[in-house]
Copies of this chain bind each other. A is one copy, B any other.
Amino acid sequence: MPVTRLYGIIPPLITPFDTKGNLSVDRLSGIVEFTKPYVHGYYLCGTYGLGPLMRTDQRKKVAERVAELVGGEKLIVVHVGSADTETAVELAKHAQDIGAHAVASVPPFYYHHSETHILNFFRELVDSVSIPVYAYNNPPRVGYPITPELALKLKEVGVAGIKDSSFDVQAFIDYKVTLGEDFDVVVGTEALMLPTYVLGARAFIPGMSNYAPEIVFKLFKALENRDFENAAKIQYKINKVRRQVQRLGPTIPLVYLALKLRGVDAGFPRKPFLPAPHEVQEILKSYIEELLEGVET
């Protein structure tokens, strides 16, 4: 079932490892169980999901396992971005095989590639599968942006849409203006849901849905009900807590800890990431409580 437009809340699922650094597929079910009622799909092996620092075989196992767990009930988007073309193509084919609805990819990272190289990279991806291929814009991680002009050329080689994690609402508008209605623009954060929803965004990939999916879902419902006043209140609460959490240290390890505090064993991140220090547990707990206050969980 290829999709042409993503919809709803599609969290960038984190990936559980054990203390020895082995992939811990068994822990995926707990995280999926916990988040499932509040999401429309999953974005696998993305930046939150540690895909870019995992082995190819590990990335495949995560996609396989989550596809099994959701059994067609949810959208599955697999991030296949890599430093090289071959790995990305291999992962895209595999994603299609396990029933993913779409794949997404950062442009090849580490090197700052020329437009010719980038277009060829995505052309090979598009040619390797029949499901939609999304480009994923994340300038701080990749080292260079996907400008609207580049996105237009990506559209011409068959890219179906973009996941934008630039945190730049003007860029969202520029994409829409430049790329037209038949190119999907998905917002890669919970921090800008209201301001982009009113501009037409309907799909979101929010890291916070890993550990507080209820509040993000509540915001999405307020948006769908056009209750923008209430949406603004929730948006402000989300962004306030986001900032507080970011001050505690690197975000990704904190998500594992936050899940533990929510009662879900998400294991540990892969190295070079290290588990969040114990000292932040109490304060993180209070932030989550603040976030969920008044939200049915």
Question: Which A residues form the contact surface with B (CB < 8 A)?
Answer: 21, 47, 52-55, 82-87, 108-114, 116-118, 120-121, 124, 140-141, 143, 167-170, 173-174, 176-177, 191-192, 194-196, 198-200, 226, 228, 231-232, 235-236, 239-240, 243, 249-250, 252, 270-274
Q: Of B53, B169, B176, which one neighbours A83 at CB under 8 angstroms?
A: B53
Q: Given the complex, which residues of B lie within 8 Å of A109, measured CB to CB?
A: 109-110
**Are A85 and B272 also in contact (CB < 8 A) when A195-B199, A198-B194 are?**
yes
Sample (26) of A-B pairs whose CB atoms are under 8 Å apart: A52-B110, A53-B111, A111-B273, A113-B273, A114-B249, A117-B250, A118-B272, A120-B274, A121-B272, A124-B271, A140-B143, A143-B143, A170-B191, A170-B192, A170-B239, A173-B235, A173-B239, A177-B239, A177-B240, A194-B195, A194-B198, A195-B198, A198-B231, A198-B232, A199-B235, A199-B236
Minimum CB–CB distance from A149 to chain B (whole Å) comes to: 10
Which 6 A-B pairs rank lowest in CB-CB distance, beginning with the nearest?
Answer: A195-B195, A85-B271, A53-B83, A53-B84, A169-B169, A121-B272
Asked whether B274 lies within 8 Å of A236 as measured between CB atoms, the reply is: no
* CB–CB A173/B85 < 8 A: no
Contact of A272 among B84, B169, B174, B191 (CB under 8 A): B84
Residues of B within 8 A of A120 (CB): 271-272, 274
Give complex CA distance A249, B114 in Å.
Answer: 8
A223 → chain B, closest Cβ, in Å? 10
A52-B83, A83-B52, A143-B143 as given contacts; A236 in contact with B173, CB under 8 Å: yes
Q: Out of B21, B174, B192, B274, name the residue touching A169 (CB < 8 Å).
A: B192
B271 and A84 contacting across the interface, CB-CB below 8 Å: yes
Q: Which partner residue on chain B sits nearest A52 by CB separation? A: B110
Select one of B112, B124, B177 contacting A236, CB under 8 A.
B177
A252 to B114 CA separation, bound complex (whole angstroms): 11
A113-B273, A173-B236 known, 20 other contacts, Cβ within 8 Å: A21-B85, A47-B111, A52-B83, A53-B111, A54-B84, A85-B270, A85-B272, A112-B140, A113-B250, A120-B274, A141-B143, A168-B168, A169-B192, A170-B239, A174-B239, A174-B243, A195-B195, A195-B198, A198-B228, A198-B231
